[in-house]
Amino acid sequence: MRFKLLAALFAALLLSACNEPHTGTFVFTAIPDQDESQLEKRFGVVALYLEEKLGVPVKYVPVKSYAAAVTAFRNNEVQMAWFGGLSGVQARRLVPGSQAIAQGLEDPDFKSYFIANTSTGLTQSDTLPESFIDQPSFTFGSKGSTSGRLMPEFYLRETFNQAPDQLFDKVGFSGDHSATIALVQSGAYATGAVNYKVWERELEEGKIDTSKVQVIWETPGYPDYHWTVRGDLNDKFGDGFSQRVTEALLAIDDPVLLNAFPREKFIPASNDDFAPIEETAEAIGLLDAQ
Q: What is the pLDDT of residues 249-265, one digit of tens each?
A: 999 999 988 988 889 99
* Whole-number pLDDT of residue 126: 95
Positive or negative torsion for Cα 156, 64, 117, 172: negative
Model pTM greater than 0.75?
A: yes
3-state secondary structure of 137: strand
DSSP per residue, 179-216: HHHHHHHHTSSSEEEEEHHHHHHHHHTT---TTTEEEE
pLDDT digits (tens, 9 = 90+) for 37-67: 778 888 999 999 999 999 999 999 999 999 9
The continuous run of DSSP H or E covering 155 comes out as helix 151-160
Domains and CATH numbers, the chain: 6-108+223-283 (3.40.190.10), 111-218 (3.40.190.10)
How many percent of the chain have pLDDT more than 70? Answer: 91
Task: Report, as an integer, the average pLDDT of 127-140.
Answer: 96
- Condensed to tens digits (0 to 9), the pLDDT of residues 209-242 reads 999 999 999 999 999 999 999 999 999 999 999 9
Q: Amino acid identity of 154?
A: F
For Cα atoms 19, 25, 26, give the angle at the middle one, nearest 5 degrees.
90
